[in-house]
Structure 1
Amino acid sequence: MGPVWVLYGGVLLLIISSFASLMVGAQPIAPRVVLAAWLNPDGTQLEHILVQTTRLTRTLMSLMVGASLGRCWGADAVDDAQSTGPTGVIRHQCRGDLLYRPE
């Protein structure tokens, strides 16, 4: 199995888990209601309001945090693999320190 298929599988898993995140909560919401909230939103139905406000925000924030952590872990792996050059640049950026300070 090539790396392209692994990428497609990861994207598909991300889409499925994001959709599941919209359905799961203190009050479970059916998949057809989540789709209806996306395609034909109705501001008078409680489930539509929950999907559009609370759950969509939660899902988008978790995707952004996951992407940031994935970038940092991948950057650390690249930085660890480098044998020459300025080490520590990427690691400092992931920790929030945007300035390069030689060690």
Structure 2
Amino acid sequence: MEDRNSRPRKRHKAPACAPSLVAYEGADADPVERWFCETSDARTDPEITEAVVRFIEQHGARSVVGVDRIIGCPHEEGIDYPDGETSSPGSVLERP
């Protein structure tokens, strides 16, 4: 049986970047900012990178955590599902 972790991963385009600040363990993320890309990958877009750095500096973050892959839910509250509800699998695919 092939180990699925040994296969090369397909690189998906990240359509958005959503950095946030968390003041202490267990706190909600606040503020949260979002930047979107229609043609490039948000992870490598120079304008988004500069904006994220400014966001971090403006809010005085003392430490920064990043990841090497796309994480999180692609669904947007109020767009893909009603405000106050949780997302359902596949709802982002149902956008007009």
Q: TM-score range by the shorter chain?
A: under 0.3
Greater C-alpha radius of gyration: 1
Instruction: Identify the structure with the greater strand proportion.
Output: 2
Instruction: Identify the structure with the greater helix proportion.
Output: 1
Structure 2-normalised TM-score? 0.27
